[in-house]
Amino acid sequence: ITASARLNGGIIRSYGQAWWDAVQQTSRPLLFAWRANNGSISDITISKPIGKSFNIAGNGNKIQNVVIDAQSSTPAFPFNTDGFDVGGDGNSIQNSQVSNGDDCIAIGSPCTNFHVQNLTCTGSHGVSVAAKGGGSVNVANILVENVTFTDSLYGARYKSSGGDVGLASNIVFRNLLVNNVTFPVYVTQNYFDQSQAPPPPSNTSVTIKGMSFTNVAGTINSLRPGDGSCITDPC
């Protein structure tokens, strides 16, 4: 979807359960590739998306009152069902709910001046700042606030990969409630796709400047309320 667009109101039934049951693979079709500027997405319900729901790469878009339900009703796991993969400048997501098996929101490079508020994430990999992908990374001025994570592997998460360069700056997570979450706060500079072999060692990664986690409360299902790994030791 390009130009200045609006997607407002309705239910999309993707029948993803049949896909999850038939083939346990991670590569599945994306529902929306959003390249619009100054557009809006609101009052949409997406039921059982096959894979990722939204890839947002335009600027100045407002997303609100969106419900994404990618929970499986069988033992088949809904791999790669990201709610929102977001880049661009000046986008926002608010008053929305995501139930899935991967990132609730994945914030990729380049992404600047992005705001998330009043979000509920269930069964997910949390809200991830993914400052990686090769080239020079630019992720700046990210505010994630008033988010509830339930039955999730991660809550607030930052990940970059060895060998990447660039800057992740002014990243703020605040007012987070976690319910039965394994890693409420997780930071790593050594991320790699676990379906592949680990990459060779590297002594470079994206520089982190001005990252904070404030008012994180709730319950965990492990003994590690925060975890992380760095390129250097000590970090």
Instruction: Report pLDDT for 84.
Output: 98
In the chain, domain spans? 6-229
Quick one: pLDDT at residue 39? Answer: 93
115 is catalytic: no
Question: 82, 85, 102, 164: which one is catalytic?
Answer: 102
Query: Quick one: pLDDT at residue 4?
Result: 65
CB crowding 8-43: b at 16 or more within 10 Å, else e: eeeeeebebbebbeeeeeeebeebbebbbbebbbbe
pLDDT at residue 163, as a whole number: 76
pLDDT of residue 52: 95
Catalytic residue among 82, 85, 103, 125: 125
125 a catalytic residue? yes
Cis omega (within 30 of 0) on the bond before 110? yes
Q: Which ranges in the chain belong to alpha helices (H)?
A: 16-22
pLDDT of residue 204: 67
HSE of 73, CA atoms in CB hemisphere, 13 A? 7
pLDDT one digit per residue (tens) for the chain, 235 residues: 655 678 899 999 999 999 899 877 667 789 999 999 999 999 999 999 999 999 999 999 999 999 999 999 999 999 899 999 999 999 999 999 999 999 999 999 999 999 999 999 999 999 999 887 666 899 999 999 999 999 999 999 999 887 788 899 999 999 999 999 999 999 988 776 655 556 555 666 789 999 999 999 999 987 667 666 665 555 5
Q: Cα-flanking dihedrals φ and ψ of residue 21, to 5°?
A: -70, -35
- Domain at 6-229: CATH code: 2.160.20.10
**Tell me, what's the pLDDT at 199?**
59
pTM of the model: 0.91
Instruction: Provide the pLDDT for residue 192.
Output: 64
Q: What's the pLDDT at 190?
A: 75
- DSSP per-residue letters across 73-113: SSSS--TT--SEEEEEES-EEEEEEEE-SS-SEEEEEEEEE
